[in-house]
Amino acid sequence: MAQIEVARRGRVMVLTLDRPGQGNRVGTQMAGELAAALDAARRDAAVGACVLTGRGDVFCLGGDYEGAGPTTAGRAEFGRAFAAVNEAMARLGKPLVAAVNGDAHAGGFSIVVACDLAIAAADATLGLPEAANGLFPFLALAVVRDALPRKLLFDIVYNARLMDAEEARSLHLVNAVAPRAVVLDAAVEAAGRACGHDPDVLMLGRDLYYGMRGAGPAEALDQSRFALAAALAARDRNRRG
């Protein structure tokens, strides 16, 4: 049975994490389906943006590491699959908006952070509570470490402290807070606005952002100038067309 539901609302593709009985936790199968759906969205010119949400009352409570089984090979495959989701999000080339319909914990929190924009339900909580279960946010750390000041990061990790939606908004982890019933509509609307510009230029710019991460100043400037030249050429083509 599929664990990702794919639907269309105009030019916006809505991807729904569909394991409500398991807190929409991302296991190896769901990770593979989500990465494949994001890659398909990049290739589909009719898709201008994507919205990522969860089925039921939660967004995502993290990765389903227990579902990977007790073997080293199974756990390694789970880690690889979860990392592949973040890679697919980065290479989407189109606006990606989280409709945080409920709690986003652990790896689910990292997915929210990895989206370009996020609209959160007013009663949602967000955070990294892994320590309360004898773990550490190992996979999430690669994403959230750049989004939070160090002392705040370790505060929520060491204390397994969950933030409410308003605190997350004040920290620019989500863009807006809305009643749960309208979160998805608000996210689709935000995605529609975000993709209302030249898609070739948006893809070049978004790809540039991710390509520059970890690059030194000289390399980043080189990437920037090549992207600018490509964007100007795309704009010229579109004007002639």
β-pair type (49-54, 12-17): parallel
Tokens of 237: 């083509």
In the chain, the percentage of residues whose pLDDT exceeds 90 is 81
Cβ-contact 34, 26 below 8 angstroms: yes
Instruction: For residue 228, name the pLDDT band (cuts at 50, 70, 90).
Output: confident
139 close to 82: Cβ distance less than 8 angstroms: yes
Q: Give yes or no for residue 111 having a pLDDT over 90.
A: yes
User: Does 13 have pLDDT greater than 80?
Assistant: yes
Digit-coded pLDDT (tens) for 141-189 = 999 998 999 999 999 999 999 999 999 999 999 999 999 999 999 999 9
Residue 241 pLDDT exceeds 70: no
Q: Which of 77, 130, 166, 219 is catalytic?
A: 130
Whole-number Å distance between alpha carbons of 239 and 237: 5
Separation of alpha carbons 145 and 153, rounded Å: 7
Residues 6+ away with beta carbon under 8 Å from 151: none
Give the pLDDT score at 14.
98
Gap between the Cα atoms of 29 and 49, Å rounded:
23
Query: Is 66 one of the catalytic residues?
Result: no
Helix (H) or strand (E) holding 53: strand 49-54
Read off the pLDDT of residues 45-94 as tens digits, 9 standing for 90 and up.
999 999 999 999 999 999 998 888 888 898 899 899 999 999 999 999 99
Decide if 97 contacts 116 (C-beta within 8 A).
yes
